[in-house]
Amino acid sequence: MAAYATVDDLKAKMDARALASLAYDAAGTAEITDAEVVANLENAIAAASARADTFLRGRVTLPLTAPYDRALVNAVCELAIEELYLRRPKEADFPREDALAEAKSFLEYIRAGIAKIEDAAAAVPECSIRSTTEGATPVFSTVKDVMG
């Protein structure tokens, strides 16, 4: 199974100190680079990616190939942040309800066939452009034009 996001993707969504706090189990504070923090962040990403796969199965060929569709990366980040919050006792409301709801809706749309993502391995250009010069005027044609 592929992890569709990275720790850097998570840091782009949420403050690094807050992420470290969510991913650190001991008393005190930790840095985002601490081994335990990184391991817990990667575990949350793996769990979120596995959840995303349940929505993707039957709509795209798995495993997907990097680079991943940015919308998928964003959705997986929100699921991973939820995973991190779920590791904690319920102290407060989850502060990212709207973002999480949007991520889950996006994945539901994929499951329903309403939204689509592109797999880098399956992406085939619609046409290739070939240029020739006839006289001083360049002539462009697509593969479809050339191949008939």
> Is pLDDT at 122 greater than 80 in this prediction?
no
Say which residues have a Cβ less than 8 Å from residue 19's Cβ, sequence separation at least 6: 10, 11, 32, 37, 41, 84
Give the number of other CB atoms < 10 A from CB of residue 97. Answer: 10
The confidence band for 136, taking pLDDT boundaries of 50, 70 and 90, is low
Express each pLDDT in 5-34 by its tens digit.
999 999 999 999 999 999 998 877 889 999
**Is residue 42 exposed (0-12), middle (13-18) or buried (19+ Cβ within 10 Å)?**
middle
Q: What is the mean pLDDT of residues 114-123?
A: 80
User: Residue 44: what are its φ and ψ, rounded to 5°?
Assistant: -65, -40
pLDDT of amino acid 95: 80
Percentage above 70 pLDDT, the chain? 80
Say if residues 96 and 81 touch (Cβ distance below 8 Å).
yes
Q: What are the Cα distances from residue 112, in Å, to 28, 87, 105, 119? A: 45, 30, 10, 18
The confidence band for 124, taking pLDDT boundaries of 50, 70 and 90, is very low
pLDDT of amino acid 135: 53
Express each pLDDT in 37-85 by its tens digit.
999 999 999 999 999 999 999 899 999 999 999 999 999 999 999 999 8
Q: Which residue has the higher pLDDT, 17 or 140?
A: 17
